[in-house]
Structure 1
Amino acid sequence: MSVKYDTIVVGSGPNGLAAAITLQQRGHPVLLIEGKGQVGGGLRTSELTLPGFHHDVCSAIHPMAIHSPFLSSLPLADFGLEYIHSAIAAAHPFDGGSAAYVTHSIEDTASALGKDEQVYLDLIGPVIEDWPFIINSILAPLRFPDHPFRLAKFGLKALRSASAIARKFSTRKGKGLWGGMAAHSIQPLTNTSTAAVGLVLSAAAHIKGWPMAKGGSQAVANAMAAYFKHLGGTIQTGRWVQSVEELPQARALVLDVTPAQLLKIAGHRFTSFYRSQLQRYRYGMGVFKLDWALSGPIPFLSEECRKAATIHIGGAFEEIALSESSASSGKMIDKPFVLLAQQSLFDVSRAPGGQHTAWGYCHVPNGSAVDMTDIIEQQVERFAPGFKKLILSRHAMNAQQMEIYNPNYIGGDINGGIMDIRQLYTRPSLSLTPYRTSDRQIYICSSSTPPGGGVHGMCGYHAAQTILKDLF
């Protein structure tokens, strides 16, 4: 007798897993289908360079995972997930050997900024104070908030550009630290609402930190999958879905894909108007990513950088802003903003004894095939002389190769579409229920839906809540 499922979820990234878990928790049998041989999507760890060196293929540090109302509600520790924190959440080196940094203490972080101490406290302090009241609204689709006045206070800052906020700071350290935080938005820092990402990530660092998963990001996906199966869910791996017609009968089909794949898999089922909305969906910058096997720790000149799992390499705010605007407009520069993670300093399971791993990427024009290896390594060498001598092996992926690895990364866009003001809440279409498609059986739950990119599972959770309301 064949097994029947209420719902079939295609794609096992954090959002696909979240949708599957939410529906299975409510007693609706779910089949989760994954194209690759293991679950994870952006949560995968592999020996990309040499045996014994475990690299995070995509996502590496997970500040939003521990803040996610959904993920934090799951008993994932019972299924093997352990988070590790570095003493400093993120550090930002400057020429000459100094650095700005973010620790758990907002007071210590602000004090190290000198003349910008009060500016930082005034900027981030209110976000921390209001966090318990606004986080559910920040990580949700557009709707009337539970605490409208607190959210409005946050919005007055969040909807501004990062460049406008930067003008509040008077020191190189204050501006640079802010620029590195805001550059996680993966768009020009002059864009409206780029301040939102900087505010959220800064506050998150002070509230719960920026952790990594022990053993690698795959541990997050493995724990979610184990819990899902514990609930009675079924997983099939190694099965690429080319069309929804291939799938077994179910009341709902939930696709953890971006609009480009949605059109390929199910476009023939949609109205012409909905198809046109998906066709107009915009993707953002791509990434060029490197993983290194190292004979020793990265020799950063700054002591603070040697205590941080995450390093923002970009120098002054103006340099970071130029890097982001250039990549967005299709240009390459020789000093890009580089996001770097050095997990093995704090997780000895990542590399053989005495040796280390490092992970880093820069933003590039969407679909770029340009090799940025030398440029990225020179940027690291700039703040850590001797770094290149430590490289035992490296693994590189350009923006095109990122998409080949994961078809959701269109042109190397790891955010599922640009998250500018035009697509912050209209992802992937203008709708108060963005998880529904024009076909009443088909739903979308990827990072191309609110609240967008990041390891938090909230896109999948909200998609599942929509399905429960519609069908069950």
Structure 2
Amino acid sequence: MTVPKAKGPRRTRRPVQGDAPDAVVVGSGPNGLAAAVVLARAGLDVELYEAADEVGGGLRSKPLFRDDVVHDICSAVHPMAAASRFFREFDLAARGVDLLLPEISYAHPLDGGRAGLAYRALDATCEGLGPDGPRWRALMEPLITHSRALVDLLLSDQRRPPTDPALPFLLGERVLRHGTPLAGRQFAGPEAGALLAGVAAHVVGPMPTPASAAVGLLLGHLAHGSGWPVVRGGSAAIARALAEDFTAHGGRIHTGRRITDLREFRRSRAVLLDLGPKEFLRIASPFLPAGYRRGLQSFRYGPGAAKVDYLVSVPIPWANPLVGRAGTVHLGGSQAEVFRQETLVSRGVRTDEPFVLVVDPAVADPGRAPGDARPVWAYAHVPNGDDTDPVALVTARIEAYAPGFADTVIEARGISAARMEHYNPNYVGGDIAAGAVTMKQALVRPTLRWNPHSTPLTGVYLCSAATAPGPGVHGMSGYFAALSALRREFGLRNAPSLAPVPGRP
């Protein structure tokens, strides 16, 4: 395919065999797949390489203990897939991917059987929070009103002003109140404070901070809007839909191929890497300018996630039965306890009461629980690189709020934070966010460049969660990197349509 070479600023030339595709994508997580879809839909000849034996990265699902029970291996709940611009245009529903919404998006149980409950319905949430209901409404309702613009701003490439002039004020004052020590003074009762702290803890870092507040506001308001869905049959359905669209537009996928040298693709016009800084350095370090290399080497990683997959005989016996209607459950105690535990873990201190996320996907997808068995998914936040098997630790945390849970466990498999990096090399030390989510690394991710997806090597782009806009199954890092490559390397300035094509996957 012959296309004009885009003009642009002078960059260091990539070390440059035979016929080669126009573009190559390395890594098939949601961002790599998104990038591949965009490039193929633009008419380019594209090949995708994946080190594992199947595509998907954090979107893999498979049976672990029984052939008829599917477990999500990494991501299980997908608020970003329901809200991001890429997936809005890609239209998962039209491709047969069902995003199933529980009545309660997330819950946060407390001692004594109390719990904060984030219903999809804002009215029901506020009613359940009693005296704090009006405060919760005042916090969330304006964000819900401006939701699309808010999502597009926070899931942007951080180079453009907001399209909605109200957003800086709405975000600024809320981040100030909930991302500083003022956070402990915003609610009268324990439920509302814990409810917001639990969702903010998805930042996986010290709390409270402006970054944790921004994450809490983004995910928190979506709980009352497009929701926190699980995927019917497992998260891998999203990866399959992306891969099917890519191959339907001429793309070719190579699995079981771990790339060891960037020069393998020296004749392709564009190379997009769904790799973190550590992996990029592994395949390209000798060719990178010293300053840029030092920038990547100084990239910070956050705490790790230790995963437990359970096969259980019955639904989790929560002390508060309403918690059992939530798709996601946060275990961390009071707001102050969540702040303390997350801050300690971010400092490398292992505790006996870590913050834990629990998902029972069959709450929204009953087909995941055939007969007398159902999957339960859980993560604990632990220090980066922690090598402790988490099964006993996580089981004890669930048992504290669901007495008798241990008796329902048929089988369990633990993966330490250290082992998470073996599953996916982008998860350095078990950091599933592919880099600490701090205010600095939200704006400068992975290094200081006007275009965060470009590199000093001609035609080489980064598109992993280590680039803007950061972690989550949203596809936007891949989307932005692909648009940049189309513009700079091929002179193509119009984004291709992502809508399903009648008669094709």
TM-score norm. by structure 1 comes to 0.97
Task: Return the offset for 1:148.
Answer: 5.5
% identity of equivalent residues = 39
Q: Which amino acid aligns with 1:83?
A: L
Change in CA separation of 1:162 and 1:455 when aligned onto 2, cut-off 3 Å: farther
Partner of 1:96: 112
Distance change (3 Å), C-alpha of 1:157 and 1:220: farther
Report matched runs for 1:134-149 at 5 Å.
134-147=150-163, 149=165
The SS at the match of 2:32 is helix
Q: Which residue of structure 1 aligns with residue 259 of structure 2?
A: 241
Q: Does the residue aligned with 2:443 lie in a helix, a strand or coil?
A: coil
Match of 1:221 among 231, 236, 239: 239
Tell me which residue corresponds to 2:297. 279
Q: Which residue of 1 aligns with 2:224?
A: 206
Q: 2: CA distance between counterparts of 1:354 and 1:373? A: 22
Q: CA deviation at 1:3?
A: 6.0
SS across alignment from 2:166:
helix
- Are 1:7 and 2:56 counterparts? no
Q: Which amino acid aligns with 1:270?
A: L
Q: Deviations over 1:202-255 (max 9, x none)?
A: 111111111011111111101111111112211111111111123362101110
Deviation of residue 193 (structure 1)? 2.5
Deviation at 1:350, TM superposition (A): 2.5
Equivalent in 85, 96, 116 of residue 69 of structure 1: 85
| Partner SS, residue 223 of structure 2 | helix
1:412 aligns with 2:469: no
In the alignment, is the contact (CA less than 8 A) between 1:76 and 1:227 conserved in 2?
no
Contact kept? 2:50, 2:256, Cα under 8 Å? yes
Measure how far apart 1:346 and its partner are.
2.7
Instruction: State the distance in 2 between where 1:166 and 1:30 align.
Output: 51
Task: Quote the Cα distance in structure 2 between the aligned partners of 1:76 and 1:175.
Answer: 34
* The one of 444, 459, 470 aligned to 2:477: 459
Residue identity in the other structure for 1:175: G
| Aligned residue pairs, count | 471
Structure 2 CA distance for aligned equivalents of residues 22 and 158 of structure 1 = 35
**Given the alignment of the two structures, is residue 48 of structure 1 paired with residue 64 of structure 2, yes or no?**
yes
Q: Secondary structure at the match of 2:474?
A: coil
1:241-278: CA deviation from partner (whole Å, max 9, x where unpaired): 11112336210111001001011111222111110110
Does the 8 Å CA contact 1:290/1:359 hold for their aligned counterparts? yes
Q: Give the partner amino acid of 1:189.
A: M
The RMSD of aligned alpha carbons is 1.5
Q: CA deviation at 1:137?
A: 1.7
Tell me what 1:386 maps to. Answer: 404
Aligned pair partner of 1:471 in 489, 499, 502: 489
Contact map agreement 1:98 1:302 (CA 8 A) in 2:
yes
What is the rounded CA distance, in whole Å, between the counterparts of 2:88 and 2:19 in structure 1?
31
Shift of 1:78: 4.4
The TM-score normalised by the length of structure 2 is 0.90
Aligned residue in 2 for 1:301: 319
Amino acid at match of 1:100: G
Task: Indicate yes or no: 2:281 matched with 1:263.
Answer: yes
Q: In structure 2, do the counterparts of structure 1 residues 76 and 105 end up closer, same or farther at CA, with 3 Å as the change threshold?
A: closer
Contact 1:172 1:317 in 2 (8 A): yes
Q: Letter of the 2:121 partner, please give it.
A: S
For the pair 1:443 / 2:472, whether they are aligned, the reply is no
Change (3 A) 1:157 1:65: farther
Decide whether the 8 Å contact of 1:133 with 1:150 is kept in 2.
no
Match of 2:210 among 192, 197, 203: 192
Counterpart for residue 96 of structure 2: 80
CA distance in 1, matches of 2:93, 2:254: 24
Q: Please tell me whether the aligned partners of residues 358 and 377 of structure 2 are also in contact (alpha carbons under 8 angstroms).
A: yes
Instruction: State yes or no: 1:112 paired with 2:128.
Output: yes
Please state whether the residue corresponding to 1:8 is helix, strand or coil: strand
What displacement does 1:146 show? 4.2
2:502 aligns with none
Q: CA offsets per residue over residues 360-386 of structure 1, 9 Å max, x none?
A: 011111101123322211111111111
Q: Does structure 2 conserve the Cα–Cα contact (< 8 Å) formed by 1:287 and 1:399?
A: yes
Question: For the structure 1 residues 377 and 199, does the alpha-carbon distance in structure 2 shift closer, same or farther, using more than 3 Å as the test?
Answer: same
Report the AA paired with residue 227 of structure 1: D
Question: Secondary structure of the residue that 2:201 maps to in structure 1?
Answer: helix
Give the unaligned 5+ runs of structure 2: 1-17, 491-505
Give the counterpart letter for 1:141 in structure 2.
D
